[in-house]
Chains A and B, each alone.
Chain A
Amino acid sequence: EILLTQSPGTLSLSPGERATLSCRASQSVSSHSLAWYQQKPGQAPRLLIYGAFSRATGIPDTFSGSGSGTDFTLTISRLEPEDSAVYYCQQYGSSPQWTFGQGTKVEIK
């Protein structure tokens, strides 16, 4: 079973700053299998990034994904107040099965 560990637990930044969120897998995974989601309070998660790098439909280019092997990163280049949310990474396995990281909370000062 692959475990996903996200860091930091909470990120507190000002509008306009850059946010860097980390997701580390317990073993090497295909870049195709790594996704990122945004969840705001009271809402369902929303797909941001799939295949480690590709933005989902309607996602602004301030969101970008990178990484390979066991280390993946979600970057928000210029934070806006509406980016305040919890961000989850997710890995898809071929059984099929899915695993989520524990989440990173992004707070806007």
Chain B
Amino acid sequence: QIQLQESGPGLVKPSETLSLICTVSRGSVTSYYWSWIRQPPGKGLEWIGCLYNSGSTNYNPSLESRVTISVDTSKNQFSLRLNSVTAADTAVYYCAGAAYYYYYAMDVWGQGTTVTVSS
């Protein structure tokens, strides 16, 4: 069973860049469609963007101008960068994987990491 683990700073200053890494274990980073999802406190889930076919990306149009998702196959990791953050970017950030045999539903999730944007 593939396992995911998010890592990165829990506190980011306004206007700076949020950077998170998702490490894939017991599987290959090339085998799934990988996404980042976030959940502001007390609110619902928002898809941020995805990495697929070992390097292609697609992003939520509402965040596209500030988001970059990339892969490091040598480390079996993929990463999220979100520029020019504000308090509205405070959330729990999850990485998740979707496979074709689940019709690309997300069957693998990390535990989530809390990121607070504050000076």
Instruction: Say whether chain B's binding surface is mostly helix, strand, loop, or mixed.
Output: strand
* CB nearest neighbor in A for B106: A47
Tally the A-B contacts, defined by beta carbons under 8 Å.
72
**Quick check: is A72 within 8 A (CB to CB) of the other chain?**
no
A97 and B60 contact, CB distance less than 8 A: yes
Encode A35-49 as 1/0 by CB contact (under 8 A) with B: 101010001111100
In the bound assembly, the distance between CA atoms of A44 and B95 in angstroms comes to: 10
- A-binding residues in B (CB < 8 A): 33, 35, 37, 44-47, 50, 52, 58, 60-61, 94, 96, 98, 102-107, 109-112
- 9 extra interchain contacts, Cβ-Cβ under 8 A, other than A90-B45, A92-B103? A46-B109, A47-B102, A50-B105, A51-B103, A56-B105, A88-B45, A96-B50, A96-B58, A99-B47
- B-binding residues in A (CB < 8 A): 1, 32-33, 35, 37, 39, 43-47, 50-51, 56-57, 88, 90, 92, 95-103
